[in-house]
Amino acid sequence: MIDAMVRGQWLVGYAEMDGVDRVLRQMSQRFPLQNPMGEGADALREAHGDLEPLFNTFWLDLVAEFGLNSKG
Over residues 1-50, the pLDDT tens digits come to 899 989 989 899 899 999 999 999 999 999 989 999 999 999 999 999 99
CA neighbours within 13 Å on the CB side: how many for 28? 14
Task: Kindly indicate the confidence band of residue 67, based on its pLDDT and cuts at 50, 70 and 90.
Answer: confident
Which residues make Cβ contacts (< 8 Å) with residue 34, sequence separation at least 6? Answer: none
CA 68 to chain centre: 20
Question: Where do the DSSP E strands lie in the chain?
Answer: none
Q: Domain locations in the chain?
A: 2-66
| pLDDT computed for residue 71 by the predictor | 60
| pLDDT computed for residue 27 by the predictor | 92
What is the mean predicted confidence (pLDDT) over 53-67? 93
Whether 70 shows a pLDDT value over 60: the answer reads no
Whether 51 shows a pLDDT value over 90: the answer reads yes
